Chains A and B, each alone.
Chain A
Amino acid sequence: MTTVTNKNNKRLEILKTYKIYIDGQFVRTESGRYYIATNSKKENLANVCLGSRKDFRDAVVAARNAFGSWSTRAAFNRAQILYRIAEMLEGRKAQFIDELIKQDSTKTQAEKEVNLCIDRLIYYSGWCDKFQQLFSSVNPVASPHFNFSVPEPMGVIAAIAPQNNSLLGLVSVIAPIIAGGNSCIVLASATMPLCAVTFAEVLNSSDLPGGVVNILTGKVAELVSYFSDHMDVNATVYCEADFATQKMIKEKSALNIKRVLLYNKIKWTDASGQSPYFIMDLQEIKTTWHPIENIGGAKAGY
């Protein structure tokens, strides 16, 4: 018996195909296009899908479909799923560290980033069933009505993740979106997309329903206008400081009065990179009124 080996007489490694993640499925871009992700040493890391507007369109459909059941799911259940995501990430820590190192992190940096991501997911897991209590109110109206205001998820969120902090930025954007019951389409860092796709695998194995998070890879400049003017998107998140892009997002968002969140000043590595206010940014406040019957005791007539 002979085994066929490569020239170094070693087993041939299986290279990973980096696909995009839509509706719980790993698919290639419908456009058939790709780009090569490289690092600072000009090493080719992988062929990555160059996502198209049609990929985005499909992802919005998936996100809209997923929104209904995700938003009405018990907050406690969402908490468990976010916790599960953290567990899965912990279990595959080595792979993420490895990818981050390929994308120019030092080992220490990479370890720190992955640990921070896990902790951030745990942090937001905890908020899933608590922020509502903090930001709700029972309003003492001056009429015989019971009146209360509660946060409700906004809907479908289109987010362009930070281009740096490729994993931490992605996780920091996605976690508050889904903790609050929204669904989303997230465009990963164009320069450092590897972790994003691998993170989709984590999501896929974490009981997160398909379509709640859709992750695309591709170029911001090509896709940002669709992220901003799609009529079935409720809010757009943008994390870079590019002024012209910010302006364009705000202008196009006016088409359906989309909410625009600009996170270019956030230090994702800090404690300030996490708070329930990120969840609240993507919530609507709903106020409900109902009459209160007042019967009992002596009543004066008229």
Chain B
Amino acid sequence: MAKLVKNNTIKLKFDSVKNFAPAPESKKAAKIDPQYDLFINGKFERPMSKKYFSTINPATEEKLSMIAEANTADVNKAVKAARTAYDKTWKKMPTAERAKYIYRIARMIQERAREFAIIETLDGGKPIRESRDFDVPTAANHFFYYAGWADKLEYAFPNRKTTPLGVAGQIIPWNFPLLMAAWKIAPALACGNTVVLKPAENTSLTALKLAEIIQEADVPPGVVNIITGAGVTGAAIVNHADINKIAFTGSTDVGKIIQRAIAGTNKKATLELGGKAANIIFEDAPLDQAVEGVINGIFFNQGHVCCAGSRLYVQESVFNEVVRKLKDRLETLIVGDPMDKNTDIGAINSKAQLDIINKYIKIGLQEGAEMYQSSCAMPKKGFYCRPTLFTNVAQSNRIAQEEIFGPVLAIQSFRTDDEVIEKANNTAYGLSAGVWSDKGSKIFNLTSKLRAGVIWANTFNKFDPTSPFGGYKESGYGREGGLHGLSAYINLV
């Protein structure tokens, strides 16, 4: 027998990959004011709380701006504006006119795309490549898609007419600030509702920039109100008596608090919560594409993605090969300045999140899992985490069960189809899952048996305005995107 070369004697070298000359996007193309007020009833107003908090660039820890903190009185004012706009203007407006306002927002985001991308990256730490190529265009597309629904709702629900719900209170997370604002505002407006939206306190800037666009677009005052603040502000929205609907994207823990908080009311709710998606590679998969899918599945947006493919299951016959390919690919990821066009992995969104991720990395090591991190150089300032793989992981490890929300992948092996289906579904979550195989009938078996709202087969982390997104089980309820996303903002009559 001829001898095979052992894997450990051979290693490709990728040191030079990370030595690109700096290619930073210019900060000058975006204007950030020193201070931002609340956007209520079409105007920027100083908060009645008289308080402001600072927002920083997580890549440099430098202060970017001061953001108004809305208190209960501010929330009341915003809800009142939304209610008045709903009663007096928005619900009465011909639907085709409503559509045109939303189209206008879409177009204006496209026009100012570069500015939005820069601010999104400065405020949130995500790579400019992602802000530029994903967050901003997808947000604009979402408005464009739902704009067209405004005057076609009668076709969406067979044998039923629709009415708007009224005022929607919307609370969004820090991982996709502008995109989540679009996911919330676009369908709500198209269905005839008015909104009070609160971005996450770490990442308020693009939502406030969106407020500028809404103002410029001449959207009637009060139809969209954007108020800033932290959890207390969010709670004031959730508990406000004149709100008809709560739409929340964030952690499962907070989702549960919200469900309890509105239990004694008639408020409707949609919740888009956490996840711990399984990504499954069979031996007959297109392995190199699967590896790429795994990389994008867990390292996209530093892993701050509710549908991140954070649990990898690899069939034992290809386990070593897949892990080797993953390690090689890990070495070619550039970690660093999010503003550099070559950066693949930017800054962790906040110190607090970095602490959580590091806590889980420690837990993983304590649990005896084997860690592999890329050898990349790390910036001296700012919040960063090396892309991390764990092998030698079992289902009972905490890193395989709990949502880490960072660039940390837990890899397990499996032997048979039934085993992996059972393990993939063995979680409280059910947001998304991935499966990689070249055999069509196997794909359909897996896609139908995996209990999750979005299944990516031979791909991962794909999003589109026309495609409904949302979870099973503790990943929440309701869908965002597509025809099904309309249900969240209408009553059927």
Q: Direct A–B touching in the complex (beta carbon < 8 Å)?
A: yes
- Give the B-binding residues of A (Cβ under 8 A): 72, 134, 137, 139-143, 145, 147, 149, 152, 154, 234, 243, 246-251, 253-257, 259, 275-277, 284-291
Known: A257-B256, A257-B477. A141 touches B464 (CB 8 A): yes
Tell me if B469 and A257 are in contact (CB < 8 A): no
Q: How far is the CA of A192 from the CA of B273 in the complex (A)?
A: 41
Q: How far is the CA of A248 from the CA of B264 in the complex (A)?
A: 8
List the B side residues contacting A291 at CB < 8 Å: 458-459
30 example contacts (A-B, Cβ-Cβ < 8 A) are as follows A72-B448, A137-B483, A140-B466, A145-B459, A147-B464, A147-B466, A147-B467, A149-B467, A234-B473, A247-B264, A248-B263, A250-B259, A251-B260, A254-B255, A254-B259, A255-B256, A256-B473, A257-B255, A257-B256, A257-B271, A276-B158, A277-B160, A284-B472, A285-B470, A285-B479, A287-B453, A287-B467, A288-B456, A288-B457, A290-B457
| Minimum-distance CB pairs A-B, first 10 | A250-B263, A254-B259, A141-B464, A139-B466, A251-B263, A247-B264, A254-B256, A290-B457, A139-B467, A288-B455
From residue A257, how far is it (CB to closest CB) to chain B in Å? 5
Tell me if B453 and A284 are in contact (CB < 8 A): yes
Closest residue on chain A to residue B467 by CB atoms: A139
Tell me if B484 and A289 are in contact (CB < 8 A): no
List the B side residues contacting A285 at CB < 8 Å: 453, 468, 470, 479, 484
List the A side residues contacting B484 at CB < 8 Å: 137, 149, 285
List the B side residues contacting A234 at CB < 8 Å: 473
How many residues in B have their beta carbons less than 8 Å from beta carbons of A? 45
Tell me if A149 and B459 are in contact (CB < 8 A): no
Tell me if A257 and B447 are in contact (CB < 8 A): no
List the A side residues contacting B470 at CB < 8 Å: 285
Q: B164 at the A/B interface (Cβ < 8 Å)?
A: no
Closest residue on chain A to residue B483 by CB atoms: A137
Closest residue on chain B to residue A244 by CB atoms: B264
Known: A141-B462, A277-B492, A289-B467. A259 touches B453 (CB 8 A): no
Tell me if A289 and B256 are in contact (CB < 8 A): no
Closest residue on chain B to residue A248 by CB atoms: B263
Q: How far is the CA of A287 from the CA of B482 in the complex (A)?
A: 10
From residue A299, how far is it (CB to closest CB) to chain B in Å? 19
Picked from A149, A243, A255, A276, the residue with its CB within 8 Å of the CB of B468 is A149
Determine chain A's interface SS by DSSP, over half rule.
mixed
Tell me if A257 and B474 are in contact (CB < 8 A): yes
Give the most central of A134, A247, A286: most B CB within 10 Å: A286
Q: How far is the CA of A286 from the CA of B471 in the complex (A)?
A: 8
Closest residue on chain A to residue B461 by CB atoms: A289
- Give the A-binding residues of B (Cβ under 8 A): 141, 158-160, 252, 255-257, 259-260, 262-264, 271, 273, 428, 443, 447-448, 452-459, 462, 464, 466-470, 472-477, 479, 482-484, 492
From residue B77, how far is it (CB to closest CB) to chain A in Å? 28
Tell me if B473 and A289 are in contact (CB < 8 A): no
Closest residue on chain A to residue B477 by CB atoms: A259
Q: How far is the CA of A147 from the CA of B454 in the complex (A)?
A: 10
List the A side residues contacting B458 at CB < 8 Å: 290-291
List the A side residues contacting B159 at CB < 8 Å: 275
Closest residue on chain B to residue A275 by CB atoms: B159
Tell me if B466 and A256 are in contact (CB < 8 A): no
List the A side residues contacting B472 at CB < 8 Å: 154, 284
List the A side residues contacting B262 at CB < 8 Å: 250
Give the most central of B472, B475, B476: most A CB within 10 Å: B472
Closest residue on chain B to residue A146 by CB atoms: B457
Tell me if A256 and B474 are in contact (CB < 8 A): yes
List the B side residues contacting A253 at CB < 8 Å: 259
List the B side residues contacting A251 at CB < 8 Å: 259-260, 263
Tell me if B464 and A137 are in contact (CB < 8 A): no
Closest residue on chain B to residue A137 by CB atoms: B483
List the B side residues contacting A250 at CB < 8 Å: 259-260, 262-264
From residue B141, how far is it (CB to closest CB) to chain A in Å? 7
Picked from B160, B260, B428, B482, the residue with its CB within 8 Å of the CB of A254 is B260
Picked from B255, B273, B454, the residue with its CB within 8 Å of the CB of A289 is B454
Known: A251-B263, A256-B428. A287 touches B468 (CB 8 A): yes
Tell me if B158 and A134 are in contact (CB < 8 A): yes
List the B side residues contacting A145 at CB < 8 Å: 459, 462
Tell me if B452 and A286 are in contact (CB < 8 A): yes
Q: How far is the CA of A111 from the CA of B309 in the complex (A)?
A: 56
From residue B79, how far is it (CB to closest CB) to chain A in Å? 22
Q: How far is the CA of A76 from the CA of B216 in the complex (A)?
A: 54
List the B side residues contacting A139 at CB < 8 Å: 464, 466-468, 482-483
Additional A-B contact list (6), CB under 8 Å, known A287-B454, A287-B469 = A137-B468, A143-B462, A247-B264, A285-B468, A286-B454, A289-B454
List the A side residues contacting B158 at CB < 8 Å: 134, 276
Tell me if B482 and A149 are in contact (CB < 8 A): yes
List the B side residues contacting A288 at CB < 8 Å: 447, 454-457
From residue B39, how far is it (CB to closest CB) to chain A in Å? 30
Closest residue on chain A to residue B450 by CB atoms: A286
Q: How far is the CA of A54 from the CA of B54 in the complex (A)?
A: 54
Picked from A72, A248, A257, A277, the residue with its CB within 8 Å of the CB of B273 is A257
Q: How far is the CA of A149 from the CA of B428 in the complex (A)?
A: 22
